[in-house]
Amino acid sequence: MKKIFKVEISFWIQIGILSLLTSCIDNTSSKSLENVKFNENSEIKKEAQHLSEAFKNYWYSGEAEITSYKLEQARYGEIRQGKAVLIFVTEDFLPNIQVKADQQHPENISVLKLNATKNFNTGIYPYSVMQSTFYSVANNQHALKVSSSMQEWCGHVYTQLNNRDDFEINSYSYFQSEADKSYNLNKAILENELWTQLRLDPKQLPTGDGDLQIIPSFEYIRFKHADLKAYKASTVLTNNTYTISYPELDRTLTINFNPDFPYEISGWVETFISGFGSNAKHLTTKATKLVSIKSPYWSKNKNKDEVLRKTLQLN
């Protein structure tokens, strides 16, 4: 992919010199983005993350990582039993139209995609939740795209964010007050992208004591019918946990992970006010790891392959 920039800004912190240069970025493959400093809309970014051989061997093996979790989900002021699944896989991604590429192309960007699903019942009717995050393995910019869908017997809702000059939001819902909206947001940290950033390098996760602006997960926004925008947040990173706290939302999320590569997520705990009116109360959602496998699941679509669901304890 050949990108020509009229001006490339390079900060040499150690010597304190700011140089203004005219340059041309060389061709880069979809798996080597280490020289890219600007995205398509000239957003300034840090240097791209070096991809180790261990990373390439694990994530470019032609398989996805699939991990199942026992889920205790707070909804309508009660805890519901269910299952969650995190599917991580690398893909070639087209940066302009922001979809998965159908074939190899020099303009493709390599992303680590997360499809996060939840399934649980609320009384007689089921909930199905899915959030998708497309995050460049260069680990030097916001997610290129985030989408979220939620289905239950009342109806379904869908939200999509595209990272261009701003965050472009398109949102659809069966609720009158939320239906068919399109608007732009200033760029800020996305909670959805932090899960994927953690898998690349947890030490690079943003930390701060109340001075960060973070857009909560699209799932939470829908559950609470909250405004999709950035909120003040604090974050704390330890050896094996990452905690996000939103004072205004009275919400805390802690992600537990293995501190060693490939930084598997062992579970998470989320505390917030669940329910409405007199039923509202602080409850804690918990997800506990069950099984993790690597598989090219897209080719496991025959009846005989259902045994893999038993392996993942998803029956």
Per-residue pLDDT of the chain (315 residues; tens, 9 = 90+): 434 333 333 333 333 333 333 333 233 333 333 333 334 444 557 788 999 999 999 999 999 999 999 999 999 999 999 999 999 999 998 888 888 878 788 888 999 999 999 999 999 999 999 999 999 999 999 999 999 999 999 999 999 999 999 999 999 999 888 889 999 999 999 999 999 999 999 999 999 998 999 999 999 999 999 999 999 999 999 999 999 999 999 999 999 999 999 999 999 999 999 998 888 999 999 999 999 999 999 999 999 999 999 999 998
Tokens 């909206």 belong to 181
Q: What counts of helices (H) and strands (E) characterise the chain?
A: 4, 18
For 228-243, how does the pLDDT look when each residue is reduced to its tens digit (9 = 90+)? 999 999 999 999 999 9
Contact present, 272 and 279 (Cβ < 8 Å): no
How many Å apart are CA 275 and CA 112, to the nearest integer? 34
pLDDT at 67: 98
Nearest alpha-carbon partner for 45 in 55, 58, 34: 34
Measure the CA angle with vertex 71, ends 284 and 191; round to 5°. 65
Nearest alpha-carbon partner for 111 in 92, 131, 87, 88: 92
pLDDT at 10: 37
Contact present, 267 and 290 (Cβ < 8 Å): no
Consecutive H or E run containing 309? helix 307-311
- What's 259's DSSP letter? S
pLDDT at 106: 82
- Pairing, β 145-152 against β 155-163: antiparallel
How many Å apart are CA 104 and CA 33, to the nearest integer? 15
Contact present, 50 and 130 (Cβ < 8 Å): no
pLDDT at 44: 59
For 15-55, how does the pLDDT look when each residue is reduced to its tens digit (9 = 90+)? 333 333 333 323 333 333 333 333 444 455 778 899 999 99
Task: Tokens for 173, please give them.
Answer: 């819902």
pLDDT at 178: 84
Q: Where are the alpha helices (DSSP H) in 113-253?
A: 191-200, 218-224
Give residue limits of the domains in the chain: 53-311
pLDDT at 43: 54
Q: Which residues have CB under 8 Å from 59's CB, separation 6+?
A: 88, 90, 112, 137, 262
Q: Phi and psi for 310 in degrees, rounded to 5?
A: -65, -40
- Pairing, β 208-215 against β 241-246: unpaired
Beta bridge partners of 136: 111
